[in-house]
Amino acid sequence: MCDYKVCANNIFRRIGIPGPVRIPFFGELFNIIRKGYKTNDSDLVQKYGNVIGTTPLILLSDLDLLRNVLIRDSHVFINRRVIENISGPLEHGLTVLKDEQWKNARSIVSPTFSTAKLKAMYSLMNEVSDIYNTRLLEYADKQEIFNINILNGQYTLDNIASCLFGIDTNSLQNENVTLIKHLRKFFEIDLTNIYIYITIILPPLASYLGKKGYSLLPRDAMNYISNLVNQIVNRRRQHLERRNDFIQIMVDHEQEVTADQKLMEAKENADETESQQQQWETLKKTLTDKEIIGQALIFMIAGYETTSVLMSFFFYIMATEPTIQEKVYEEIRQELGDDEITYEKVSQLRYLDMVINETLRMYPPFIRFERVASNDYELGNYHIPKGSIISVPVYPIHHNPDFWTDPEKFIPERFLPAEKAKRHPMSFLPFGDGPRNCIGMRFALLEAKLAIVKALRIVEFQKCEKTEAPLQLGKLAILNTKNGIWLNVIRRSE
């Protein structure tokens, strides 16, 4: 029998899914390297339609079928594509875990991003955003143009490190240089590293090499961060320090489970019903140390780049669309005045929400996301085999004129409640959808909104001689710019 991964293109032809002729050995990788994800996906959708067979995956942008895959039949598509043994500690992270392991970890980690926990983290975010504002005012007073990508990267790194695993990176103030150096290695992709291409072209070989010590990620940086997080976990367990962050939530959960276990053991087992035993089996689950480190690294990597990208594109819009910037500023003045910016008040800024959503539509941080079929499945008129990879091309969906009128125009009013009600819910997927959507979405939006509101209160964003129009976008799966986003800021009058 032909293995799905090896013979995907033959399967696509046999079941009638249209798509490009497979390029020997490289598959679609050749075109991705040449054009980049954004352009390649858009070209494929325009040429072949909304269901495309492109080795080794199915590119799916049919919105009704997407709703089935992500929502109605999410139990069939509960996992993401994973290549074993290539990611070190990330093997234990939420984006990599499968089936029951994923469900268990997700249920334990989810409270980190509840309203109550986000409110508790808000003061930590506030401290970082104050430093961010100080940096903006320095640029304004010096009349110095700057690449806002760099500043936003420092802001999100400081926030994630502080709020999620209790580390003060202070990258906005250029402190803690050793830690920052290691953290940044996670985001420096070396395209001369042949292991990257082996991973894409020959996953089984990549997995074998992973067992022999090869890794996609920098091993020295992983070891440094892992040891650091381990030290923090141990200090929390010994009650030497306490913070409102992810690590503390995990340690508190462990201690609650331990206390409940002792209580349960004190009771007579004979009085325990089967349902009580099952409830206890669920209750006693905790994350291992490897899983805690895995989640911490996943949150850092996923949250750092994506939130920074959102903020950078948002401020680019502010500088290039001054009328929209003024409307956002007026809403902030009207709703907040000079009052303290609280968690509740940030959540009440409706026009700001619309502008952020339109930014995410035009510039979605992730170009694609994936799900894997755990069984044979009827995808519309196509019978696809177990193991089929469904890849969702977010950028073409967000720029499809069938879903969005004048998709290349920035129109925040698209996200008025009445307009949203007219659209298919799958036409807007910046954070994915279904049970495996982005768990940190609310955290990311909160840290972005807080920085935006505090910044627009004190400075106005303007174009400068190095501001590109239109922007030249990069080729990677996380949307970026080729040359940065260069802007100027001026102080607002008191």
Give the annotated binding-site residues for heme.
438
Is the link from the previous residue into 430 a cis peptide, with omega within 30 of 0?
no
User: Which amino acid, 173?
Assistant: Q
Name the pairing type of β-strands 57-60 and 389-393: parallel
Burial pattern 360-380, b for ≥16 Cβ within 10 A else e, equals: bbbbbbbbbbbbbbbeebebe
Total count of residues recorded for the chain: 494
Name, in order, each residue with C-beta under 8 angstroms of 404's C-beta and a sequence gap of 6 or more: 361, 398, 414, 427
Contact 245, 162 (CB under 8 A): yes
Among 38, 24, 78, smallest CA distance to 390 is for: 78
Binding-site positions read 438
Burial pattern 268-291, b for ≥16 Cβ within 10 A else e, equals: eeeeeeeeeeeeeeeeeebbeeeb
Distance (Å, whole) CA 123 – CA 300: 19
Residues paired with 393 in a beta bridge = 368
Contact 355, 424 (CB under 8 A): no
